[in-house]
Structures are given as structure tokens and as C-alpha cells.
Copies of this chain bind each other. A is one copy, B any other.
Amino acid sequence: MLHPYVQQALDAISSRPIENVFLVACGGSSALMYPSKYWLDREAKTIYSDLYSSNEFIHRNPATLGAKSLVILCSHSGNTPETAEAAKFARSKGALTVSLTHEPSSPLAEASEHVITYSYGPDAPAFETNYSIMYQLVTGLLYVKEENAKFHRFIQSLQSLQTVYDRAKSQFMDQAKAFGEANKDENIIYTIASGANFGVAYSFAICILMEMQWIHSHAIHAGEYFHGPFEILDKNVPVIQLLGLDETRPLEERVQTFNQQYGEKLITLDAKEFDLSEIADDLRGYIAPLVLNYVLRQFANELADARNHPLSTRRYMWKVAY
């Protein structure tokens, strides 16, 4: 049932003691690990976890990194130099390294003990894509180490992800188009979320808006909003509000309630509107960010079309030395 490479990694994991996990990647690959950190925090009884941008991880050099550590890394191309270097660094400390990438023959794949190649693109089955593979790995980790009772249902839920994605995509087509049209002239758009959903807000801010659309942005944590950021809000400030289904939803709802009173340019994406029939009730909070992310990709496509600024346009990335 599991992706075969995930199974191989879990076999390796079960044969050695694991005290802590480091989730290590950059940018969008890091953002897709945030739901896994949320899962580990809520469910792991004996295993500690931390999430770091690859080069921060290397230079920070955590004292607990060692032979009882599992380091999970991710780079889509496998070419991210900092992440490949982080894998080498982790191995030099005796840690077990498992990497996710789309490219099985890449620097990251070569630097890691275990490599899980994920599928990508419009025809890739959702079960085999990056977010799903991450969850298979970290729910599997807690199954082999702590006999976590949610594991089998989690995998079953992930197997319905494609159905859920397809339905959500057609459901939000019109909203995505309206979003693109309404926001094509904005020069700043904030995103707000908490809990398992924060990584989705983060990647939309830094990868879609800043990187691919050259629109100023900042992913604000809903729990931090009223301790500074909210003073920026007025009727001209666009905010994308994510409402998930996890335990932190009250934080997101509180922001939404405030913004409905003092803001005007509010774009709300509420996971309660998704049909998640195939997903186990108590796992919907974990799956919601994946669907939010999938739907937001449509929002990005429509924004790019309305602005006549393709998502593939870059001025520095892959073009100049940095």
C-alpha cells in the first residue's frame, strides 16, 4: 500500500533507535514539511522534531544531531546545493538521511542514504506527490516507532487524495478566476494561517507571490496577528485568509472576524467548503492544508494569466550567480 521507497526507508528506520527528527529543506520544499511538523508535535510521544532551512541547519549545528537522529530532506530538482550539503553534513554526524526529490540521479539523491522519488505534474497521482510522500514517511515513522494508531487510516485517506483534489479543483475554478481578476493590480498581498496550514500560507507568499509574481508578501501567523501585524490593515490591504480544519482553526477564525470588520480586500479559502467525504474525520485537519495548497495553485495560475506574468518568469533565479 505504501510507496515502495517509503517502505524501504521505514525498514531502515525501524532497525535503529530514533530520538529526534530534523526536517530540512529550502523554500517551497521546506514549506511542504510544515504539516508534518504539526503531525509530529501532536502525535509523537518519544521523538522530538525541528524544522530548519538547509543552510541554517548546517551552521546552527544542533547539539542533538547524531546517530539517533533521522534527517528528512527535500529538493524538487535535487540540485539545491544547501540541501545536498545538509545531507552530507547530517551523515557526517552519524544521522540517518532520507531524501525526497523528483530527480533520482541528483546531488541530493547521491548524498542521501535513502531516496524517495516522488511524482510531479498534472498527471501525477496525488498519492505519489510530495505532500503525500512526506505524510507517508512521518506517519510511518510513528507507526514503526510508537505503533501510532492513526497510521493505517492516514494512508487510506491519502489514497483518496486525487478524488478530493479533482473535486476541489472544479469547485473553485470560478473563485480562482475572480481572484486573479480582482488582484491583478495589487502590489502587496498578505497571507494568514496557523497550525498545519501555516506552511501553505508561507509558500504562497514566498514562492507564488514574491518569486513568481514579484508581488510583495508576508505570511503572517494567525496567532501573532494581534501582536503587531494587524495595525497594517486598512481597506486597501489585500489578505488571503486560510481557514483549515485543525485544532488551531479558532486562531484563524479570530483573524477573519477582525478583518471582516476593518478590512475590505479579503480573500477567504475555507477548508470547510471542501468535500472531504473519503478522509477520516479525525485526520481532516492534517489533509486540509494539502487541498488548500492544491486549490491555491489554481488561484496562482489565474493571477498569472490576469497579470500576463507567467509563473515561470524569473529575473535572477537560475539566471545570475547568487
- Show the binding face of A for B, using Cβ within 8 Å: 20, 26-28, 30, 38, 41-45, 48, 50, 53-56, 59-64, 80, 82, 188, 194-195, 205-207, 210-212, 214-218, 221, 223-224, 226-233, 246-248, 250-251, 254, 258, 262, 314-317, 320, 322
Contacts and interface: CB of A to CB of B under 8 A. Distances in A.
A49 to B, nearest CB: 9
A207 B223 contact: no
B59 A248 contact: yes
A56 B211 CA distance: 28
B227 A26 contact: yes
B60 A247 contact: yes
A42 B64 contact: no
Nearest to A196: B60
Contact of A27 (B55, B227, B250): B227
Q: Which of A212, A221, A314 has the most CB of B within 10 A?
A: A221
A216 B231 contact: no
10 contacts: A41-B60, A48-B64, A50-B50, A55-B248, A56-B195, A206-B229, A207-B227, A207-B228, A210-B228, A231-B314
A322 to B, nearest CB: 5
A230 B59 contact: no
A227 to B, nearest CB: 3
Nearest to A60: B41
Contacts of A48: 20, 48, 64
Given A28-B227, A206-B224, A248 B322 contact: no
A41 B59 contact: no
Contact of A206 (B55, B228, B246, B250): B228
Given A206-B229, A314-B231, A59 B211 contact: no
Contact of A227 (B62, B206, B227, B262): B206
Contact of A60 (B26, B42, B206, B231): B42
